[in-house]
Amino acid sequence: MTELYHAAFSTCSQKVRLVLAQKGINFESHEIDLIAGEQHAEAYVKLNPNHVVPTLIDRGVVLIESTLINEYLEDAYPEKPMLSEDPVERHATRMWTKRLDQTVHPATGVITFAIGPRVMLLEQPAEVREANIQAIPDPARRAARRSVIEHGVKAPEFAGALQVMLNLLDGMEEALASRDWLSGPTFGLADAALLPYVLRLDQMAMTPLIEGRPGLHGWYERVSALEAYRVGVEDWFLEPIVEMFRARGEAAWGEVENLLKA
Ligand SMILES: N[C@@H](CCC(=O)N[C@@H](CS)C(=O)NCC(=O)O)C(=O)O
């Protein structure tokens, strides 16, 4: 029996659901409401002491950290491989996932909260919002969350986060100029890992950043056409949240464009 604690719109959850879907692994779903702060509930923190999703339970074992969960799934369910046998390609995959964990994921958190969920959080009673910020165990993440909720795209962290994403898109464009997939002959772990982050930019109305890069754009269309994308990502979309991201992204686009020009 496989169980997944996750959130419909969380990038790390999307990345694990993409791999589960590609490998045809069914799971019992436990959705965690991140806006309500369910990631801080005592029972959940026993599973994931970092207060984040996703958490996978497979064969009775609790597994955390989305990149490592996906590597585990590759090891435990090798029938439909998503990691090349070529050592150089394996290294390339891990370069992408390491970059993602180190810089892209935190940057996406800054951009996402500054544009989207910030508005939902500002509607909460101040004491609920503050308690959920205080419960974030990592001090750097806690400080960034407070800053973007307070200042939105004007937060000092925002411009640097945008630059991280532009560097990522440029790196992907360069890699995808000569290949269809990022780290092997077929859709693999690096593609699954990066798709949610490109999707997030698209959903926040930053589509020109994707369409202006033909290699990246072609890759994005290839991934979006996969059955695993439908099952692992699209089927979890909730129209009001998609709409919220789009509307907030459109409203912020002028300021984003100014930063891009600068
Ligand atoms: N390194 C962790 C990061 C997980 C993470 O940041 N998850 C986000 C959603 S994508 C989360 O649960 N955030 C809750 C919060 O920030 O309060 C992983 O890859 O699993």
Q: Is the C-beta atom of 65 inside 6 A of ligand 1?
A: yes
Q: Is the C-beta atom of 108 inside 6 A of ligand 1?
A: no
pLDDT one-digit tens code per residue, 139-164: 999 999 999 999 999 999 999 999 99
Asked if the structure places residue 175 within a domain, the reply is yes
pLDDT one-digit tens code per residue, 79-120: 999 999 999 999 999 999 999 999 999 999 999 999 999 988
Shared-domain flag, residues 71 and 147: no
Ligand 1 centroid to Cα of residue 178, in Å, is 32
Asked if the structure places residue 118 within a domain, the reply is yes
Shared-domain flag, residues 44 and 106: no
Relative to the CA of 52, which ligand 1 atom is closest?
A: 12
pLDDT one-digit tens code per residue, 163-219: 999 999 999 999 999 999 999 999 999 999 999 999 999 999 999 999 999 999 999
Ligand 1 centroid to Cα of residue 131, in Å, is 17
Q: Is the C-beta atom of 223 inside 6 A of ligand 1?
A: no
Shared-domain flag, residues 236 and 149: yes
What is the C-alpha separation between 104 and 197, in angstroms, rounded?
8
Shared-domain flag, residues 7 and 123: no
Ligand 1 centroid to Cα of residue 223, in Å, is 23
Residue 18's domain spans which residues? 2-76
Q: Is the C-beta atom of 10 inside 6 A of ligand 1?
A: yes
State the total domains in the chain: 2
pTM over 0.95: yes
Q: What is the pLDDT of residue 262?
A: 87
Shared-domain flag, residues 163 and 47: no
Shared-domain flag, residues 16 and 96: no
Ligand 1 centroid to Cα of residue 54, in Å, is 7
Shared-domain flag, residues 54 and 96: no
Choose the final residue of a domain: 76, 105, 122: 76
Ligand 1 centroid to Cα of residue 214, in Å, is 30
Nearest Cα neighbor of 162 from 234, 114, 195 is: 114
Shared-domain flag, residues 37 and 71: yes
Shared-domain flag, residues 207 and 227: yes
Nearest Cα neighbor of 135 from 43, 55, 41 is: 41
Instruction: 125-134: list long-range contacts, CB under 8 Å, 24+ apart.
Output: 128/37, 131/37, 132/37, 132/40
Choose the final residue of a domain: 76, 98, 118: 76
Choose the final residue of a domain: 43, 76, 109: 76
CATH of the domain at 24: 3.40.30.10
Shared-domain flag, residues 44 and 101: no
Q: Is the C-beta atom of 48 inside 6 A of ligand 1?
A: no
What is the C-alpha separation between 175 and 210, in angstroms, rounded?
14
Shared-domain flag, residues 113 and 178: yes
Q: Residue 240, exposed/middle/buried by CB under 10 A (0-12, 13-18, 19+)?
A: exposed
